[in-house]
Amino acid sequence: MSGRVVAVCIAASKGVPKEDVGVGLLVPEIGIEGDAHAGFAHRQVSLLNMEDIREMQAKLPELHPGSFAENLTVEGFDLGLLEIGHRFRVGEALLEVTQIGKECHTRCAIYHTTGDCIMPRKGIFCRVLKGGTVRRGDEVAFEAAEVASPKT
């Protein structure tokens, strides 16, 4: 399974949509350099499929990569097939899935406008195992099917 990076998104503060900057540096055990969510425990990098964003654009056409505060928007790489512990390469970096979806304590503006938000169901969160540069257009490829052993 492989796909490509559509957008590399960061924001200077939490709780706002991210902007596509086209290129970023993934730092091991931190996240994307310059992003407000960098260093957030096991949710260092967030990802969404462009295919899912396109479905939401039918309800709210102004949505774009980064609207759901995801760091990486990918296409052709089905994030829904990943499980906790799966590893995949994105650009020069190696990521490990640590969480699928998230609990939303407050409803975002997208939810209030459309009645739905995909990040709680479709968002994937990862830790950065091996850092490196990631650019729009880079390949995203499955690395390992086995689940990593838990840390002791």
Task: Please give, one letter per residue, the 3-state secondary structure of 54-111.
Answer: HHHHCCCCCCCCCCCCCCEEEECCCHHHCCCCCEEEECCEEEEEEEECCCCCCCCHHH
Task: State the pLDDT confidence band at 148, using cuts at 50, 70 and 90.
Answer: very low
Extract the tokens encoding 93: 């970096």
Class of the CATH-defined domain 2-144: mainly beta
Residue 120 has pLDDT above 70, yes or no: no
Torsion-angle region of residue 15: left (phi > 0), alpha (psi -120 to 50) or beta? Answer: left
- Residue 60 is predicted with a pLDDT of 80
Q: What is the pLDDT of residue 117?
A: 61
79-94 pLDDT, tens digit per residue, is: 989 999 999 999 999 9
d(CA 2, CA 130): 18
pLDDT tens for each residue of 37-67: 888 688 899 999 999 888 888 878 888 898 8
Q: Where are the domains of the chain?
A: 2-144
Q: What is the pTM of this model?
A: 0.84
- Alpha-carbon distance of 68 to 4, in angstroms, equals 19
